[in-house]
Amino acid sequence: MGDTRAPGQRAGLTRDAILRCARDVLSEQGIDGLTMRSVARRLGVAPNSLYSHVAGKDTLVDDLLDDVLGEVAEPRTTEPAAGLRQIMTSTYEVLLRHPDLVPLYLARQGSRGGNAQRLGEIMLDLLDAAGIAGPEAQEARRVLIVYTIGFAAMTTGSTSDAATSLLSRDVLAANFTTGLDWLLEGILATSDNQLPPHSL
């Protein structure tokens, strides 16, 4: 650790580098191990240095969560049922890829960052194409989001629970899809323009 820097000497710090590092620390040390100081230490930098690139710990975590949502694939169709199933499934897969983040999403009830907003609007567009708009659309969206994050938490969490480990990821993922289809069926059934019967 001989490479101490005098005040003023640049370290080449970057908002992205900090986010990446925070993600690494989180996955290696868990949520309790994620501190400004631990991130700074791993970057070989004084804790305060982070504040030149990040507003604070809360927004760091917020940014972290929203950053990951950038991995969610946009749906490749404008057909409501298929599009919604695609976007939710992609979200579910992204969450499974970052198990450590899932409890954070739950505690903060999602994310309000740019990526979250973008995905949210895509969902509203799809719902609108199904004839669902206004408050009902907002609600349907929240149902889908809660279901997806909740299910990811179920798939992901508490490996200490003996009963859980008996269930394979695949089984749970399959159940995610069937439950999602139940929800979509129910949501889209409230629409005025009914869908063609076999669209699900």
Binding residues (CB under 8 A) for its own copies: these are: 103-104, 106-109, 135, 138-139, 142-143, 146-147, 149-151, 153-154, 157-158, 163-164, 166-167, 171-172, 175, 178-179, 182-183, 185-186
Q: How many residues at the interface with DNA, by CB under 7 A?
A: 28
Establish if 146 lies at the interface with DNA (CB under 7 A).
no
Q: Which does 183 bind (CB under 5 to 8 A by kind): DNA, its own copies, none?
A: its own copies
If contact means CB under 5 to 8 A according to the sort of partner, which of its own copies, DNA, none does residue 143 touch?
its own copies
Residues 50-69 that bind DNA (CB under 7 A): 51-53, 56-58
**Interaction of residue 9 with DNA, rule CB under 7 A:** yes
Q: State yes or no: residue 13 binds DNA (CB under 7 A).
A: yes
2 binds DNA (CB under 7 A): no
For tokens 């490996």, the residue is 159
Choose one: 1-9, 94-102, 146-154, 157-165; the region binding DNA (CB under 7 A): 1-9
Nearer to DNA, 46 or 173 (CB): 46
